Amino acid sequence: MSALTNSTAETGHPRDESPLELTLRLSADTVQEALDRADSRHWTRKPPRSIHARLAYLLSQTRQDATTLANLLQVTSAELDALRASPQTPAGDPLHQAVEREVLRRWQPRVRRRAHAAIIANNGQMMLSFRAWLGFTAAAGSSDDPRLRFLTLSLQSPYPHHLFTAQHRNAPEPELRAILNNALSACYFHRNRPTPTGETVSLERIDYLEFHY
């Protein structure tokens, strides 16, 4: 499939020819953004590349309501106006990154849902690589101080389905992290056991997180 075919069909504005592209980074420090970045592997068309084209796309998603967009980006209307008027914004600017996250979250929703459905139909397996501080709770209720871990794990059904379902309804980050904590607990303690135990794992602080599916 061509990445340039029917470029206005989903964006509502002409194709952006700017050389600036979304960063290639596929990891994140939140579950929500890590899922969105993993979804980018399934895109059939690239999103807008310049900051102004991205803002135009996001405004089309908010019915041209600049106040709503400013709230989404967690900035003031004046800061958003300044960004729209600026000829160039450094890629490392926090507001630039906030715009990128919103584009990642909204781009090609039908494509990503089809990809999710195909994954679930094929046993729903998902790989996860992360470096994070993990907290552990044993069956008796004791707990240890968080430990830094660098791991790659396979998340088995039903957890990919739970994550996708929560993502589709824009669940907040604490809910997504709770689902992932349950998945990690299953990988650590409950695999091949007939019933769940009282042992749990929790992500206390994420350095980086990357999903593969």
pLDDT tens-digit series, residues 188-202 = 776 655 545 678 888
> Where residue 2 falls among pLDDT bands split at 50, 70, 90?
very low
Domain boundaries, the chain: 46-107, 117-212
How many angstroms separate the most distant Cα atoms in the chain? 61
List, in order, residues 6 or more apart from 52 with CB less than 8 Å away: 84
Q: Which of 7-16, 48-57, 92-101, 109-118 has the lowest mean pLDDT?
A: 7-16
Cα gap 31→186, rounded to integer Å:
17
List, in order, residues 6 or more apart from 12 with CB less than 8 Å away: 57, 60
Contact 143, 136 (CB under 8 A): yes
- The single-letter code of the amino acid at 186 is A
Cα gap 142→132, rounded to integer Å:
20
C-alpha dihedral (36, 16, 14, 76), degrees to nearest 10: 60
> Where residue 144 falls among pLDDT bands split at 50, 70, 90?
low
Average pLDDT, the chain: 84
> Where residue 180 falls among pLDDT bands split at 50, 70, 90?
very high
Q: Which of 64, 36, 46 is nearest to 6 (CA)?
A: 46
> Where residue 12 falls among pLDDT bands split at 50, 70, 90?
very low
Beta-strand ranges (E) seen in the chain are: 126-137, 143-155, 200-212
Cα gap 19→40, rounded to integer Å:
19
Report residue 47 as tokens: 């999103």
pLDDT at 104 over 90: yes
Q: Which of 32, 2, 177 is nearest to 106 (CA)?
A: 32
Counting Cα atoms < 13 Å in the Cβ hemisphere of 24 gives 0
Cα gap 26→209, rounded to integer Å:
9
Cα gap 212→153, rounded to integer Å:
10
What pLDDT does residue 22 have?
53
pLDDT at 4 over 60: no
